[in-house]
Structure 1
Amino acid sequence: MSVYSEKLDHIHKNYGLLTEKSGEPGKDFLSMHVSALKDGALSHKEKELMCLCVAISIRCEGCILDHLSNAIDAGATKDEITETVNTSLVMSGGPAYVYGGTALEAMEELFDKKKADDK
């Protein structure tokens, strides 16, 4: 298994642990998360790309991987993800350049994994 896929699996395990141990606050956060990212005036995919842009801007690798994976699952293309990374550069400059590179590297890995899983 590859580096980003392993990190993403670990993040998802931690989500489960946090939700189990934190009780209502964790469950409430998850409920808000699901509700906020549902299709509405903006599609779920567009919202995941927005979250990816923010995740890059605030330099949260776990958030980058989670929202990148969700965006791919929602049908985001490599071009849409690259434009999202470019948008984060406008808002965050140098730090987004570093974390945007991480997002693009992870994108390639996660697209390759998805292609292999779909076979």
Structure 2
Amino acid sequence: MSKSYLQITSDVTKALGTLRKEIPQTMQGFSSMAQSALKDGALSELQKELISLAIAVTQRCDACIGFHIKALIRLGATREQIMETLGVCTYMGGGPALMYAADAVRAYEQLLPKDE
């Protein structure tokens, strides 16, 4: 069974819309925290997204992998930066992290805009 990160992120985005309607204060609080945590500071937004991807991989969160790969693509992360991050995930997380690192590669390849 192959995962589609386009489908995963689309499905979760729809479900998040429901949460925004039904628990708006919680979702606003989470959004505010995310914006604050990811803005440029001593670490760049790109560096923070690489850290977020590492956590997503080691926590085995498919949707998180998809959303952070999308953000990394938007920020201009190179394949090499993503691969080095996944190498650190594998080192720190062992075999299970390696399997999700492979999934993160699939997410990157599926979500990268195609040249038309």
TM-score by length of 2: 0.90
Matched with 1:19 is 20
The aligned residue for residue 76 of structure 1 is 77
Q: How many residues align?
A: 114
Q: Which moved more, 1:4-13 or 1:24-33?
A: 4-13
Q: How far did 1:101 drift?
A: 0.4
Aligned Cα RMSD in Å?
A: 1.5
Unpaired runs of 5+ residues, structure 1, are none
CA distance in 2: counterparts of 1:54 and 1:85, whole angstroms: 10
DSSP-derived class of the 2:114 partner? helix
Greater RCO, CA 8 A, separation 6+? 2
The match for 2:114 is: 115
Pairing 1:105–2:106 present: yes
* Displacement of 1:20: 1.8
AA matched with 1:115: K
Residue matched to 1:63: 64
Unaligned segments of structure 2, at least 5 residues:
none
List 4+ stretches of structure 1 deviating above 4 A: none
Partner of 1:5: 6
Identical residues among aligned pairs (%): 39
The TM-score with structure 1 as length reference comes to 0.88
Structure 1 residue matching 2:14: 3-state secondary structure = helix
The residue aligned with 1:43 is: 44
Shift of 1:47: 0.6
Measured against aligned partners, the alpha-carbon deviations of 1:53-97 in whole angstroms (never above 9, x if no partner) come to 001011111111111111111111111111111111111111111
Q: Tell me, what secondary structure is at the counterpart of 1:115?
A: coil
Between the aligned partners of 1:31 and 1:75, the Cα distance in structure 2 is 23
SS at match of 2:76: coil
**Equivalent position SS for 1:40:** coil
| Amino acid paired to 2:57 | I
- Alpha-carbon distance between aligned partners in 1 of 2:75 and 2:21, rounded to the nearest angstrom: 26
